[in-house]
């Protein structure tokens, strides 16, 4: 009974809140290139010299990749901030830093949330020593934290942002939306991009049953005959990634493709139906996630691909070379090629996914 009521509520919400933005990205000369920036972690240890230095390096990495690859679209794949290190008044300023390189180049983008974007502030123990808390004013407001909804409202203020706040019925998840990419002749939809909030931070790391039902409703509405290719993006890998994962710290063997495999998959805490829906939908070609900084592989799962991006930011754990996963979509016939572009200019993990 509850599932039926929920499906009805989500269905009416979809009608009230269109799944796509007014402005649509578009293929150019039958190509559409996307840069994925994952785990930037802006604002980490902002009160120490190395924190701001890391942010400058993250911006340098993105600027280089944007100038070399010249993508048509950018996706910020979660953990844009290290919110547990941020006091609430400056969280949006760090978000602006994170999108600045993309904004300066007039490239549209979309964002999904990760587990660190709205994590509660964690008090550094050293602040309780003789030096005290740095720069305190209006303390009751300073450390209240920042919510996903606040971050999304801030992101949407940017004219280049195509991010959207999903239906309220999916709360507490927020970054749930779909974007139709127009064909080069503007006469049809060439591919559909879906964005899901995989939780973490202020609530469990999971894609809920409600989100799975929402995806099924929206995809059936936008692509009823499953003839248009679909690609899906969220931050924390699903449990299916564990099933296909190469053994950690061993070479990545075919049919998987990648260049780093230095940790175990850290998946969502539970599975509530999204992977079953995706694996049975022939139009879904691939899922892309971040979260694990030491992984950048793609592995087949049934009839689709499960892929990691690449740790792009200098914030967060790990000292592996930073970079970005690049997706190059070809319109007719549809093809999806991918590679990793590193900050040192190296291109690795070139593969044809479709």
- Return d(Cα 10, Cα 4) in angstroms, integer: 10
Q: Identify the pLDDT of residue 24.
A: 80
Indicate left, alpha or beta for 177 from its phi (over 0: left) and psi (-120 to 50: alpha).
beta
Band (8; pLDDT cuts 50, 70, 90): very low
Number of Cα atoms under 13 Å in the Cβ half of residue 200: 25
Neighbour-count burial for 203-223, b at 16+ CB within 10 Å, e otherwise: eebbbbbbbbbbbbbbbeebb
Sign of CA dihedral 168, 239, 275, 330: positive
| pTM as predicted | 0.92
On whether the CB atoms of residues 348 and 339 are closer than 8 A, the answer is yes
- Return d(Cα 40, Cα 42) in angstroms, integer: 6
Q: Looking at residues 280-293, what average pLDDT do you find? A: 98
Most confident stretch, 12-16, 88-92, 347-351: 347-351
Q: How far is CA 93 from CA 40, 102, 122, in A?
A: 14, 15, 19
* Mean pLDDT across the chain: 90
Q: Classify burial at 300, counting beta carbons within 10 Å of its beta carbon; exposed 0-12, middle 13-18, buried 19 or more.
A: middle
Band (179; pLDDT cuts 50, 70, 90): very high
What does the pLDDT look like over 303-337, one tens digit per residue? 999 999 999 999 999 999 999 999 999 999 999 99
What does the pLDDT look like over 203-219, one tens digit per residue? 999 999 999 999 999 99
- Return d(Cα 151, Cα 95) in angstroms, integer: 8
- Return d(Cα 244, Cα 246) in angstroms, integer: 7
First to last CA, the chain: 39
Q: Identify the pLDDT of residue 141.
A: 53
- Return d(Cα 313, Cα 174) in angstroms, integer: 23
What does the pLDDT look like over 217-267, one tens digit per residue? 999 999 999 999 999 999 999 999 999 999 999 999 999 999 999 999 999
């Amino acid at each position: 009974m509850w599932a039926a009521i929920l499906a009805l509520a989500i269905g009416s919400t979809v009608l009230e809140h269109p799944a796509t933005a007014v402005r649509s990205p578009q293929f150019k000369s039958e190509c559409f290139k996307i840069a994925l920036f994952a785990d930037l972690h802006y604002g980490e240890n902002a009160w120490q010299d190395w924190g701001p230095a890391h942010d400058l390096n993250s911006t340098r990495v993105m600027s280089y990749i944007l100038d070399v690859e010249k993508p048509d679209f950018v996706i910020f794949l979660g953990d844009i901030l290290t919110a547990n290190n941020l006091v609430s008044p400056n969280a949006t300023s760090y978000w602006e830093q994170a999108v600045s390189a993309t904004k300066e180049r007039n490239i549209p983008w979309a964002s999904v949330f990760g587990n660190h974007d709205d994590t509660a502030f964690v008090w550094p123990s050293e602040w309780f020593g003789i030096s005290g808390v740095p720069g305190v004013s209006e303390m009751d407001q300073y450390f209240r934290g920042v919510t996903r909804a606040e971050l999304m409202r801030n992101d949407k203020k940017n004219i280049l942002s195509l991010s959207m706040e999903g239906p309220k019925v999916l709360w507490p998840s927020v970054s749930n939306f779909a974007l139709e990419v127009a064909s080069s002749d503007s006469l049809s939809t060439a591919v559909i991009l879906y964005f899901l909030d995989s939780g973490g931070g202020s609530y469990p790391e999971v894609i809920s049953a409600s989100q799975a039902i929402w995806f099924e409703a929206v995809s059936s509405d936008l692509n009823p005959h499953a003839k248009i290719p679909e690609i899906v993006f969220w931050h924390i890998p699903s449990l299916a990634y564990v099933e296909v994962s190469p053994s950690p710290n061993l070479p990545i063997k075919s049919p998987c493709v990648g260049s780093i495999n230095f940790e175990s998959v850290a998946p969502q805490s539970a599975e509530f139906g999204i992977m079953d829906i995706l694996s049975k939908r022939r139009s879904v070609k691939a899922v892309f996630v971040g979260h694990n900084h030491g992984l950048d592989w793609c592995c087949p799962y049934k009839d689709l691909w499960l892929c990691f991006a690449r740790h792009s930011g200098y914030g967060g754990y790990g000292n592996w070379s930073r970079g970005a996963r690049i997706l190059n979509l070809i319109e007719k016939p549809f093809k999806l090629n991918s590679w990793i572009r590193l900050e040192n200019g190296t291109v690795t993990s070139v593969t044809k996914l479709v």
